[in-house]
A and B are shown apart, each in its own frame.
Chain A
Amino acid sequence: MATLTASTQKTAPPGFLTHPAVRKLLALAIAAAILVPLAVTQWGGATWPSALTVDVSEPLGRASDWIIDNRDSHPLFLYFFGHVSNVVVLAVRAVYLALLAVGWAGVTAIGALVAWRVAGVRLALGTAVAFLACGLLGMWVPTMQTLALMVVAVLASVVVGALLGLAAGLSDRMDRVLRPVLDTMQVLPAFAYLLPVVLVFGIGVPAAVLATVVYAAPPMARLTSLGLRGADKEVLEAVESLGTTARQRLLTARVPLARKELLLGVNQTIMMALSMAVIASVIGAGGLGDRVYQALASVDVGAALAAGIPIVLLAVVLDRVTGAAGEQHDGEPGRSPLTWLYALGAAAAVAVAGRLAGFLDWPDGWEVNIAEPVNRAVDWMTAHLYSGVPVVGGTADWAAHFTSWVLNPLRDGLQWLPWWSVLLAVAALAWLIGTWRTALTAVLAMAAIGVLGVWTPSLDTLSQVLAAVAVTLVIGFATGIAAARSDRFERLLRPVLDVFQTMPQFVYLIPVVALFGVGRAPAVAAAVVYALPAVVRITTQGLRQVDPAALESARSLGATSGQQLRQVQLPLARPALLLAVNQGVVLVLAVVIIGGLVGGGALGYQVVFGLAQGDLASGLVAGAAIVCLGLMLDRVTQPTARRTRKGA
């Protein structure tokens, strides 16, 4: 705020009306003064007027019935979807059989050698240990299933993403069409992608792979386009002056110059694909995610953990190795192909040796059963920490208090508010932080929720998101400030944040069920834990990037460190803080939705219900509402700065 007042003082005439925020609010107030009385006389009441809803569940239900009845006869399915589905099944099966044929010793050796060539000895060791740990936990076969699915999904995503990115990078018109779509896809919760593919392909691996591709391709497309557009103009001109054709320029200059972005895109795609491949277990992806899902359904925390650890290990290893690939090639020239040859030869030798020695299946005797001790620990915890702990109360008591003192009032408050006032609040917030465009999108998205007839459950979800965001921001800003002020604390924090940021959303559900039982409170808790790392990181970076000269001058004026923080650092880091809020909101929504699996209710529950009952109509409506809610939350918190920076 300090910067804002400063700027008005500079442009000066004391006119209070020239202040941009006031002007915006005033315009909005005038619009409201005209529209609200109209709306109220026409459709009173607090919830969205039923006259303005459109019942889409019936046509959707008919569509779903039609698909099931015609799946084995209609040419669209016979000649198109059927083939797509078969190709996916064949590809996944081929990779899976290849992995099994190489055997566990071979897979571990190949993984380690690739990691060694790309990223050095430490990561190679880490990779080997990670694979062995998967085997030790008795999860070798599920890990290979997930890996097979991932390989196919990632390849498809990278190809699709790179093609889209190429189109957007080379053609301005394509870019204008694609960018808003990709921007929007980026903020949507993974869960919303599941239903449409299930509608067409039914439960199973093809649906899971396709949902993963849709979810994981956008970052690749964005980064490819960014890399192509960001290429150094002078280099391009130099290449052009050599009389090259457009295709030569693309292949010899623009693509190599964009290598860093391309590799970052691959890295992002892999992480998103892993996260989705796990969530897709809800629609029959099999593998590790299915084990977690099965274990969660029986609140078997130990078994869930045994399947969750390999997921985390896979995520960390894949992230580090692909990340290292992006950094390493940046400066030095590529290493000699000969060492690669040696590495591959060694891997092949190990694989053959493993095969001959009969080391194909993970030996039964080598499994460590961690489920039992973990479950004993959880039982002890629920028995002793769950409730009735003197003074502090148990975790279940906290959850109950949080539900009845924070979540319930918030939900009831939101649902008590008349619908037009909610729209008005959304418009005001979005316009104050962003532009009239973002405000319009936000209001339209919110109105669409009403039209779909899921106003009440959407506000329930919204209340959970708001509560979780509030908690996340308080903890996140506090931690971020602490990390920005103390180098040692930041060093301690960094590896923790790294690990937390690479974990798939699904994994967070396990510990919260153990601690908080079932309901909305555990969903909120999982969301907070998931969103915290990003918020902490952005806050720390923002505070650290504050101009040192400004800090120095404040210090020379004798400001205490608290004053420096409040009056210099925080105001100057405002864009970063807003970005942190935006990211926090988007991440929280993603997990609050998945919270439907642990009793979070509202929209997430409706999606789960739709999937569970095969009632795709209600699930799809809820999915659409989630999309609108995500859009609204993103636009409301989207600072203008982000726009301009991205456009540059």
Chain B
Amino acid sequence: MRVRTTAAVASAAALTLLTGCGAADMTKQASPFANARGAKTVTLSVQSWVGAQANVAVAQYLLEHELGYRVDTVQVDEVPAWDALSQGRVDAILEDWGHPEQEQRYVEDKGTIAAGGDLGVTGHIGWFVPTYFAKKHPDVTDWKNLDKYADLLRTAESGGKGQLLDGSPSYVTNDKALVKNLDLDYQVVFAGSEAAQITQIKQFAKEEKPFLSYWYTPQWLFEKVPMTEVKLPPYKEGCDADPEKVDCAYPVTPLQKYLNADFAKKGGRAADLLKRFKWTTEDQNQVSLMIAEQKMRPEEAAKKWVDSHESVWKAWLS
């Protein structure tokens, strides 16, 4: 018994010695892999969709080649990324699709996250059917007629109902509530990831099969598989306030950047660059297409874009 207590006391003492006495701040938790060997490191959160990868690839390329930083990227889902950002495990999120609850908590209340301005791209989420299907059945583009086509849209995973294909569970989505509140004969099927969803959509398109999918603009896939939006009941301010009772379309969102508050203040030229980073939908799509369709490595795609758009990014550096 005595041996064990001595050991416990000793280890506790060692722990205190190691950490220095006093409080440890859980809000300042840099990644152990950051700033290795004196290099200045920026850690960027990269989300799973290709548009976000394009943002990060270009920012990373400029930070590394123009400003001499080392860039670590971490894949974190959208909501946990906010928490990681507030703790300083991540320095910046470059594309946020609107998380009012988190914004209130971290930006307004705690002040651990600073707004980083517009990305310059406007996003919109909606339900889409392939254009070849919409041409054959023009009335499918109104949600009121969706039930008529439920039979056509049935799959093995959706059971007896029509399938509404969703992507990653981490994306902003009200689809389950929408299906319930609009009383539709549909089942929401999560593909598990956006890439899986894209694979599925391409398989459908190859055989010209009909499908109904959660999708969003800007998105490079529209170039490959033209899709038409299904009109949902129009969006009104506040109609999506209660996630259980949503019965309207998704809003149009100007995508935002967010920086860790400390990083925003002390991040030097890297923070300045990320604050000024602003490009257009076409720019983003161009890089996304190179990554996703031509299967280029993100850094190569970024280099190609950077080489041909000097005037755009020069403004971010000054």
Contacts and interface: CB of A to CB of B under 8 A. Distances in A.
A597 B192 contact: yes
A97 B37 contact: yes
Contact of A608 (B4, B15, B50, B169): B169
A520 B159 CA distance: 13
Contacts of A191: none
Nearest to A95: B32
Interface of B: 3-4, 7, 15-16, 18-19, 23-27, 29-33, 36-37, 46, 48, 50, 53, 72, 74-80, 82-84, 87, 89, 105, 110, 156-157, 159, 168-170, 190-196, 198-200, 203, 292, 295
A387 B199 CA distance: 13
- The DSSP consensus for interface residues of chain A is helix
B18 A202 contact: no
Interface in A136-166: 145, 148, 163
B84 A204 contact: yes
Contacts of A615: 79
B158 to A, nearest CB: 11
Contacts of B74: 284, 286, 290
Interface of A: 68-69, 71-72, 77-79, 81-87, 89-90, 92-93, 96-97, 100-101, 145, 148, 163, 167, 198, 202-206, 247, 284, 286, 290, 293-294, 296-300, 372, 375, 382, 386-387, 396, 400, 403-404, 408, 513, 517-520, 596-601, 605, 608-609, 611-615
B31 A205 contact: yes
A78 B170 contact: no
Contacts of A72: 25-27, 110
A286 B33 contact: yes
Given A375-B295, A612-B168, 19 more contacts: A72-B26, A79-B23, A101-B37, A202-B26, A202-B84, A202-B89, A284-B76, A293-B75, A294-B48, A297-B193, A299-B193, A299-B198, A386-B203, A396-B203, A403-B157, A518-B191, A597-B193, A605-B169, A611-B80
Contacts of B53: 298
A81 B196 contact: no
A202 B83 contact: yes
Contacts of A81: 26
A612 B33 contact: no
A628 to B, nearest CB: 22
15 contacts: A83-B19, A85-B29, A89-B29, A96-B33, A204-B89, A206-B29, A297-B48, A299-B195, A403-B156, A599-B192, A601-B190, A605-B169, A609-B170, A612-B77, A614-B77
Contact of A599 (B30, B196, B292): B196
A16 to B, nearest CB: 45
A400 B30 CA distance: 45
Among A298, A386, A400, A408: residue with most chain B CB under 10 A: A298
B83 A203 contact: yes
A403 to B, nearest CB: 5
A199 B77 CA distance: 15
B26 A203 contact: no
A290 B48 CA distance: 12
